[in-house]
C-alpha cells in the first residue's frame, strides 16, 4: 500500500496540468468558481498547472458579450482566434513535455477538443441542458436559436470523441447516455462538485453584526430562493406556495439573484401578495451567506439542473431545504432534503409545514450538515487527481 501511494506521488510530482477555462466575459460565475477551486486544490497538492483562457479581442469592445452584436464578435474570439492560439500552444507544449494532462473545465468549450491529444484530455460536463434543448427535449427548458442548435450538436459530437469525461452527477451521465446512444463514449467517471465558495454557519453575534451592515436585510421571517429568471428555476411556484400557505405562514419570500421578471410580479399582484415578495439583486457572498443562515427554509423547485450547488450551500449554513423531486436534486440531497413535485405548489406547502415541528426541523438540519460534508472541495480535487493519475498509467 505504501509503495503504491509512493508510486502515485512520484507520478503526480512530474505531472503538469493545463486547465482550459472559460471566456472571461461570459459572466458564468459558477464556472469561474469551479476553475478557482481546482486551481487552489492543485496548488495545495503541489501539482504544477497553468491556465489557458479563450482570447478576448473583439470582446473588449462590449460590456456584455452574451447578447446582440457583442455575442457574435465573442464567437469570433472564442471559435477562431482562440482555436488558432490553442492549436499553436499545444504543438509547442507537446514538443517540450510528454506528461501533460489537458483539462477542459467546462463542456461548452468542447469545440476545442480536436486540438488536444484525446488520450490525455479530460473534460468536465456540468450539464447537458443546452444540448437536450437543441435536440428538442422540452423538459430541458432551454430553447436554442438556429446557430445555437448547430453549436450544441458540435459540442455533443466532440464529447463523443475518445476522451475522458467527468460528469458532475449520475443524472447528467444518464442524460448524456440517453442522447448519445449512437455515439462513442467509453472513458467516463462521475465526480460530484465540491462546495465552491466559503459558505458557513454563523453564530448569533456574527449574524447581528452583519444585519447592521446590510440595511436591506429582510425584516421578519422569510423563505429564500437563489437563482435567476430562467423558466427552469420555477420562481412562480414560490409565489403560489406563499399564497396557498395563507394564514399558516406570516413571513415573506426573498428572491436572491436576478430581480424577478414581470411574470412573477404580475402573479404576485393577481394573488394580492405583492407586498410579501422581495428581491435582493446579486447579493455579494457575505450577504448571501447571511441569507442562508437566517431563512426559515431554502426552497429550490427547479424543473431541471446539472448539479444543484445552492442545496449544499444552504445546508452548510444550517438552512432546511425543500427541493424538486426531479433528478439530480434527490441524488445530491439524498435523505437530507424534503422533496416535492415542482408542478404542484401544494406539495411544497405540505413539506414546509412539516418544519413547524422543531424536533423534525432540527433533525433535517443536522442531516443537511452531514450531507454537505460529502461535497468538500478537497474530495472533488482528489477525485480529479486520481483521474489524472489513471490517464498517465
Residue among 5, 4, 8 nearest 389 (CA): 8
Confidence class for position 69, pLDDT limits 50, 70, 90: low
Confidence class for position 35, pLDDT limits 50, 70, 90: very high
Confidence class for position 64, pLDDT limits 50, 70, 90: low
The answer to whether residue 344 scores a pLDDT higher than 90 is yes
Taking the C-alpha atoms of residue 105 and residue 93, their distance in angstroms, rounded to an integer, is: 19
Which residues, in sequence order, are bridge partners of residue 100?
16
Percentage, residues of the chain above pLDDT 70: 90
Average pLDDT, the chain: 88
Give the per-residue pLDDT at 9. 36
The answer to whether residue 8 scores a pLDDT higher than 50 is no
- Where is pLDDT greater, at 174 or 64? 174
Give the per-residue pLDDT at 25. 54
Taking the C-alpha atoms of residue 192 and residue 211, their distance in angstroms, rounded to an integer, is: 33
DSSP state of 79: I
Q: Spell out the domains of the chain, with CATH numbers in brackets.
A: 7-194+377-392 (3.40.50.2000), 204-373 (3.40.50.2000)
The answer to whether residue 28 scores a pLDDT higher than 80 is no
Question: What's the Rg (C-alpha) of the chain?
Answer: 22
Taking the C-alpha atoms of residue 288 and residue 296, their distance in angstroms, rounded to an integer, is: 14
Query: What secondary structure, in 3-state letters, does 218-262 show?
Result: CCCCEEEEEECCCHHHCHHHHHHHHHHHHHHCCCEEEEEECCCCH
Give the per-residue pLDDT at 11. 39
The answer to whether residue 341 scores a pLDDT higher than 70 is yes
Query: For 196-230, how does the pLDDT look when each residue is reduced to its tens digit (9 = 90+)?
Result: 888 999 999 999 999 999 988 998 999 999 999 99
Which residues, in sequence order, are bridge partners of residue 26?
none
Amino acid at each position: 500500500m505504501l509503495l503504491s501511494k509512493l508510486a502515485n506521488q512520484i507520478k503526480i510530482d512530474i505531472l503538469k496540468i493545463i486547465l482550459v477555462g472559460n471566456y472571461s466575459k461570459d459572466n458564468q460565475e459558477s464556472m469561474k468558481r469551479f476553475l478557482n477551486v481546482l486551481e487552489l486544490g492543485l496548488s495545495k497538492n503541489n501539482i504544477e498547472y497553468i491556465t489557458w483562457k479563450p482570447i478576448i479581442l473583439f470582446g473588449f469592445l462590449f460590456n456584455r458579450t452574451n447578447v446582440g452584436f457583442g455575442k457574435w464578435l465573442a464567437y469570433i474570439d472564442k471559435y477562431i482566434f482562440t482555436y488558432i492560439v490553442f492549436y499553436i500552444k499545444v504543438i509547442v507544449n507537446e514538443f517540450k513535455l510528454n506528461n501533460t494532462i489537458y483539462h477542459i473545465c467546462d463542456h461548452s468549450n468542447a469545440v476545442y477538443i480536436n486540438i488536444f491529444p484525446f488520450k490525455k484530455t479530460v473534460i468536465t460536463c456540468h450539464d447537458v441542458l443546452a444540448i437536450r434543448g437543441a435536440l428538442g427535449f422540452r423538459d430541458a427548458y432551454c430553447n436554442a436559436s438556429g446557430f445555437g442548435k448547430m453549436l450544441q450538436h458540435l459540442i455533443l459530437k466532440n464529447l463523443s470523441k475518445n476522451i475522458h469525461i467527468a460528469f458532475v452527477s449520475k443524472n447528467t451521465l444518464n442524460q448524456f447516455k440517453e442522447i448519445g446512444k449512437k455515439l462513442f463514449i467509453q472513458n467516463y467517471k462521475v465526480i460530484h462538485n465540491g462546495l465552491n465558495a466559503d459558505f458557513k454557519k454563523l453564530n448569533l453575534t456574527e449574524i447581528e453584526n452583519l444585519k447592521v451592515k446590510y440595511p436591506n436585510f429582510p425584516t421578519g421571517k422569510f423563505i429564500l430562493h437563489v437563482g435567476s429568471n430562467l423558466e427552469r428555476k420555477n420562481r412562480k411556484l414560490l409565489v403560489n406556495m406563499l399564497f396557498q400557505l395563507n394564514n399558516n405562514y406570516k413571513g415573506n419570500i426573498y428572491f436572491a439573484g436576478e430581480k424577478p421578471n414581470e411574470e412573477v410580479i404580475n402573479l404576485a399582484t393577481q394573488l394580492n401578495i405583492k407586498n410579501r415578495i422581495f428581491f435582493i439583486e446579486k447579493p455579494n457572498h457575505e450577504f448571501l451567506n447571511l441569507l442562508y443562515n437566517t431563512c426559515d427554509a431554502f426552497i429550490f423547485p427547479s424543473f431541471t439542473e446539472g448539479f444543484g450547488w445552492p442545496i449544499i450551500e444552504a445546508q452548510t449554513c444550517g438552512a432546511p431545504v425543500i427541493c424538486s423531486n426531479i433528478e439530480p436534486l434527490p441524488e445530491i440531497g439524498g435523505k437530507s432534503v424534503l422533496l416535492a413535485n415542482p408542478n404542484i405548489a401544494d406539495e411544497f406547502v405540505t413539506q414546509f409545514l412539516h418544519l413547524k415541528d422543531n424536533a423534525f426541523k432540527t433533525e433535517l438540519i443536522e442531516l443537511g450538515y452531514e450531507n454537505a460534508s460529502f461535497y468538500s472541495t478537497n474530495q472533488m480535487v482528489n477525485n480529479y487527481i486520481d483521474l489524472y493519475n489513471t490517464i498517465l498509467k
